[in-house]
Amino acid sequence: MDTVQSIARGRSAAHRVSRVTTVVSHRRRQMPLIAWFFLSPVALLLLALIAYPLLDVAWESFHYVNLTNPTATGFSGFDNFETVFQDDDLLPAIWNTVLWTGLSVAGEYVLGLSAAVALAGPIRGGAFFRAFIIIPWLIPIVVAGLDWSWILAPDYGVLNLWLVHLGVLSHPVDWLGQMNTALLTVTLANVWRTFPFYTISFLAALQAVPPELHEAAALDGAPAWRRFWHISMPHLRPVTLTLVTLHVIWTAVNFDFIWVMTAGGPLNASTTLPILIYRYAMRNFDVGAACALAGMMMSAMATMFFLYRYGTMGLMRPRGRRLKTGEA
Amino acid sequence: MEARGYRAHLAAAFLALAGSLVSLPAWAAPVTLNFWAAWDPTKSDGIDGMRQIELFEKSHPNIKVNVQVIAFDALHDKLVTSVVGGDAPDISWGLVEWLGELDRMGALADLSRKMAAAPEQKELYPNALAALTIAGKLKAVPNYIGLRALLVHADMLKKAGIAAPPKTWAELLADAPKIKAATGKPAFGIAGTGVRTPQELIMFLAQNGVKIAVPTKDGKFYNDWAENPAEMKRAAEVFAFYQSLQTTGAIDPAAAGWGYEEEDSEFAQGRYAMVVDGSWMSERVAENPKEMADLEIVPPPYNTTPATFFEVNPFYIFKGPREADAWQLAQFMIGKEYQSAVDSDRSPRMDVTSNGIWGKNFTTLTPIGVVFPPVPLGSITQSMEDSVGRVLLKHQKPEAVAAWLSRAINKALRQSGELGSS
């Protein structure tokens, strides 16, 4: 009897387990459907706002699309790309984009880090300076660009006035009107506006460094610069990677700051790829060529970042393995 | 018989109902015209213009006018995109430089018949109408004309011992060092960047007998400088003139980067002696009365051919269901009453002239006015601006710049489908 009961109990337990398993597996099967149900609004939004425009750009780069020439229609093959490659302004624009992006990001990094290090220490009025330094970043780009244009104007600009009064310059300089100064001047204005973002990011990272590490190193006799280099800098690496990656993208595709200050001039001296794309689309109304250049720019940037990402992962893997096996 | 009578009554009732429905539009709500204007609503032309529009609405109770003010800087892009989007205004201000482009888009109404029947036709300057005609069809009506004359600060010339303003480029270049020595200020002003640069360049080219594009037998256009060495030489002389203005100090060193705002304001503030400019500078007299008190207005200096830029600002009427009503508004605005009230200094009507220096001194230059060819000009005007930059900023040789511009114009014509066979 006991045996029978025990078998019955066992069967009942097995039945319960089997029911629970069935319910769980049923729920598991349902989970993706529920997940899709909740994700679908976002997925639709992404499809409409990102995937569709991207595909449309790719499609139109192989078609004749000219707003002012309704007769130019149909498949264009590589004609739009040919238009872009035959443009005398393309190579200078690529060089200007590299220069503008490289100098901006480097300048923002150096200035942002210096300001963060200065503000990280116990200084009087630190809170005030931390709040004060963010102001340039809060100013809208168009307002900042116009302000700088007025400050730099050769006839009524305050910068030229000061420099001439101080004897630094013998006569006012048209900073935005000269071919050799226009792009550098806009770059400086961009650095001025953007470095506070670096400062607050670095400041947060610096304040997260455990103070005992610095204390221990100081007790061991490490000078300040060595402590900064070997303790603070490694802690800044993740935020640096994020900041630099984001700002390379944001700066390379920036249009408004240059457009407001120089519109790409004088004589294309500050024309970058986004300005060239705008010129194709909204000056020549050649949407096909604009899409071809935009597609090429996006592909180049995506390739760079994939190479960077997988290159970094490749470098990280052996180090990770060494750490796991205790070789390091 | 009864059934037949019943059917007849039914048919009569149906016809009456259908007739009343057909006649509905006759007493339907008034038509609303969308009119894009680029006037400043706070200045005299905007205030007077709005007053005139109210008068038009009173005299045309079936038409309402919805005026939207859009600055010239934004107007072009808005017009093109609205046409592409199928939502163009019924009537709009614009620049004559956009005529070829808008026409190629198939956006403009053919006004030839309407104008032929209108009494206003014989009162309008023939070359203003010619500037708005493509392949024999009138595609816009003139709003106002903006001729360019030489504006002179006479006191600065007197101080330099110069009896009369220069009549030729050579005289201008000879006067420049004297003016600089006597006043410490440059003699002349140009716009090195922006929309005015190609307008000044086409004027200088015309003053040396050069056209940027000539019509071809197939109804298109072509820049023939490369096939015509004499023409290329004259074009190069124009760029050499720009270079001379710079090297002799006749223009401000910063003028290569000036747009029209700087050119106008620097002159109004008496920072240089002479400029080829339009009658809108009359507004600067009120803003800078002291500096502008010595103003004289004379024809522009030239090299071989007297010429000036003839800016015909048109009213564009767009194809659509309200075309006829838009024509009524346009006809009203080119009428004597409107023109006398709003544009007496710059009217395209021969019977509306102002005797002041801002009127006749400009309108007498109408016969020597030159305009852009009626082709899409986006890339062409950009290349013209670049060519001036190549001379003034890159200091390239005038011959090389002329050859480059010739190629650039033909390339732009080819891209727009307007390149004719040489």
A285 and B80 within 8 Å at the Cβ level: the answer is yes
Q: Which residues of A touch B (CB under 8 A)?
A: 67-72, 83, 154-155, 172, 174, 176-179, 265-269, 279, 282-286
Residues comprising chain B, all counted:
422
**Taking CB atoms and an 8 Å cutoff, what residues of chain A touch B394?**
179, 267
Question: Domains in chain B, ordered, with CATH?
Answer: 25-145+312-370 (3.40.190.10), 149-310+373-415 (3.40.190.10)
Q: What is the pLDDT of residue B79?
A: 95
CB-defined contacts A:B, below 8 A? 70
> Which residue of A lies nearest to B387 if distances are taken between CA atoms?
A267
Is the residue at A226 inside a domain? yes
| Cα→Cα distances B239→A88, A144, B331, Å | 21, 36, 42
Buried b (16+ CB within 10 A) or exposed e, B179-196: bbebbebbbbbbbbbbbb
Reported as a pLDDT band with limits 50, 70 and 90, residue B306 is very high
Q: What is the pLDDT of residue B49?
A: 93
For residues B133-144, average pLDDT: 93
**Shortest Cα distance from A166 to chain B (angstroms)?**
21
Question: For chain B, what is the mean pLDDT?
Answer: 90
pTM for this model (two decimals): 0.79
| Cα→Cα distances B335→B67, B107, B142, Å | 19, 24, 11
- CA dist., res. A149 & res. B370, Å (int): 34
**Taking CB atoms and an 8 Å cutoff, what residues of chain A touch B400?**
none
State what percent of residues in chain A have pLDDT above 90: 55
**Taking CB atoms and an 8 Å cutoff, what residues of chain B touch A179?**
393-394
pLDDT of B327 > 80? The answer is: yes
Secondary structure class of A207 (helix, strand, coil): helix
Q: What is the DSSP string of A20-87?
A: HHHHHHHHHHHHHHHHHHHHHHHHHHHIIIIIHHHHHHHHHTTB--BTT-TT--SB-TTHHHHHHHT-
**Shortest Cα distance from B186 to chain A (angstroms)?**
14
Is the residue at A5 inside a domain? no
Q: What is the pLDDT of residue A154?
A: 84
- CA dist., res. B374 & res. B101, Å (int): 8
**Taking CB atoms and an 8 Å cutoff, what residues of chain A touch B256?**
177, 266
Count of C-beta atoms within a 10 Å radius of residue B298:
18
For residues B125-153, average pLDDT: 92
- CA dist., res. A298 & res. A306, Å (int): 12
Q: What is the pLDDT of residue B323?
A: 94
Q: What is the pLDDT of residue B208?
A: 97
Secondary structure class of B36 (helix, strand, coil): strand
A265 and B104 within 8 Å at the Cβ level: the answer is no
Strand pairing category for B369-370 and B308-317? parallel
Counting the structural domains of chain A, the total is: 1
pLDDT in tens, B196-240: 999 999 999 999 999 999 989 888 899 999 999 999 999 999 999
**Shortest Cα distance from B389 to chain A (angstroms)?**
6
A284 and B417 within 8 Å at the Cβ level: the answer is no
pLDDT of A147 > 50? The answer is: yes
Q: What is the pLDDT of residue A328?
A: 39
pLDDT of A7 > 90? The answer is: no
**Shortest Cα distance from A267 to chain B (angstroms)?**
6
> Which residue of A lies nearest to B255 if distances are taken between CA atoms?
A177
Identify whether the C-beta of residue B209 lies closer than 8 Å to the C-beta of residue B305.
yes
Residues comprising chain A, all counted:
328
pLDDT of A295 > 80? The answer is: yes
Pick from B140, B31, B50: which is nearest to B93 by CA? Answer: B140
Structure tokens at B116: 């032929």
**Shortest Cα distance from B193 to chain A (angstroms)?**
8
**Cis, peptide link before residue A266, omega less than 30° from 0:** yes
Pick from B343, B189, B183: which is nearest to B264 by CA? Answer: B189
Residues 6+ apart with CB under 8 A from B6: none
Secondary structure class of B38 (helix, strand, coil): coil
- CA dist., res. B12 & res. B417, Å (int): 58
**Shortest Cα distance from A180 to chain B (angstroms)?**
10
Pick from A111, A122, A107: which is nearest to A207 by CA? Answer: A122
B393 and A286 within 8 Å at the Cβ level: the answer is no
Is the residue at A244 inside a domain? yes
Is the residue at A326 inside a domain? no
Positive/negative CA dihedral, B238, B242, B247, B249: positive
B378 and A267 within 8 Å at the Cβ level: the answer is no
Identify which of B193, B258, B378 has the shortest CB distance to residue A283. Answer: B378
Phi, psi of B162, rounded to the nearest 5 degrees: -100, 120
pLDDT of B1 > 50? The answer is: no
Reported as a pLDDT band with limits 50, 70 and 90, residue A307 is confident
Reported as a pLDDT band with limits 50, 70 and 90, residue B18 is low
Q: What is the pLDDT of residue B146?
A: 86
Secondary structure class of B168 (helix, strand, coil): strand
Secondary structure class of B309 (helix, strand, coil): strand
Residue for token digits 């194709």?
A: A280
Strand pairing category for B221-222 and B214-215? antiparallel
> Which residue of B lies nearest to A80 if distances are taken between CA atoms?
B415
Count of C-beta atoms within a 10 Å radius of residue A31:
10
Reported as a pLDDT band with limits 50, 70 and 90, residue A326 is low
Q: What is the pLDDT of residue B349?
A: 92
Q: What is the pLDDT of residue B194?
A: 85
pLDDT of B14 > 80? The answer is: no
**3-state SS string over B5-32?**
HHHHHHHHHHHHHHHHHHCHHHHCCCEE
**Taking CB atoms and an 8 Å cutoff, what residues of chain A touch B82?**
none
Question: For chain A, what is the mean pLDDT?
Answer: 87
For residues B293-311, average pLDDT: 95
Element (H, E) at B389: helix B378-392
Structure tokens at A285: 């109304």
Reported as a pLDDT band with limits 50, 70 and 90, residue B8 is low
pLDDT of B388 > 50? The answer is: yes
Q: What is the pLDDT of residue A55?
A: 94
Secondary structure class of B1 (helix, strand, coil): coil
Which range of B77-81, B354-358, B362-366 scores highest in mean pLDDT? It is: B77-81
Q: What is the pLDDT of residue B197?
A: 95
Identify which of A69, A177, A267 has the shortest CB distance to residue B254. Answer: A177
Q: Which residues of B touch A (CB under 8 A)?
A: 77, 80-81, 84, 101-102, 104-106, 192-193, 253-254, 256-258, 262, 266, 271, 376, 378-379, 382, 386, 389-390, 393-394, 415-417
**Shortest Cα distance from B163 to chain A (angstroms)?**
30
Identify whether the C-beta of residue A65 lies closer than 8 Å to the C-beta of residue A287.
yes
Reported as a pLDDT band with limits 50, 70 and 90, residue B7 is low
**Taking CB atoms and an 8 Å cutoff, what residues of chain A touch B266?**
155
Is the residue at A170 inside a domain? yes
Residues 6+ apart with CB under 8 A from A166: none
Q: What is the pLDDT of residue B254?
A: 85
State what percent of residues in chain B have pLDDT above 90: 67
Is the residue at A144 inside a domain? yes
Strand pairing category for B188-189 and B133-134? unpaired
> Which residue of A lies nearest to B394 if distances are taken between CA atoms?
A179
pLDDT of B24 > 60? The answer is: no
Identify whether the C-beta of residue A155 lies closer than 8 Å to the C-beta of residue B370.
no
Radius of gyration of chain A (CA): 29
- CA dist., res. A312 & res. B382, Å (int): 44
Q: Which residue has the higher pLDDT, B345 or A95?
A: A95
B105 and A70 within 8 Å at the Cβ level: the answer is yes
- CA dist., res. A316 & res. A30, Å (int): 38
Q: Which residue has the higher pLDDT, B345 or A313?
A: B345
CATH, residue A244: 1.10.3720.10
- CA dist., res. A213 & res. A218, Å (int): 9
Reported as a pLDDT band with limits 50, 70 and 90, residue B186 is very high
User: What is the residue range of A164's domain?
Assistant: 90-270
Q: Distance between the two ends of chain A, CA-based, in angstroms?
A: 66
**Taking CB atoms and an 8 Å cutoff, what residues of chain B touch A83?**
415
Pick from B281, B304, B297: which is nearest to B365 by CA? Answer: B297
| Cα→Cα distances A127→A73, A118, B325, Å | 61, 12, 66
pLDDT of B336 > 80? The answer is: yes
Q: What is the pLDDT of residue A78?
A: 93
A266 and B257 within 8 Å at the Cβ level: the answer is yes
User: Residue A267, by phi and psi: left (phi above 0), alpha (psi -120 to 50) or beta?
Assistant: left
Q: What is the pLDDT of residue B405?
A: 97
Buried b (16+ CB within 10 A) or exposed e, A217-249: beeeebeeeebbeebbeeebeebbeebeeebbe
A67 and B84 within 8 Å at the Cβ level: the answer is yes
pLDDT in tens, A183-216: 999 999 999 999 999 999 999 999 999 989 989 9
pLDDT of B6 > 70? The answer is: no
> Which residue of A lies nearest to B106 if distances are taken between CA atoms?
A70
pLDDT of B28 > 60? The answer is: no
Structure tokens at B125: 């300057």
Is the residue at A301 inside a domain? no
Identify which of B256, B376, B417 has the shortest CB distance to residue A266. Answer: B256
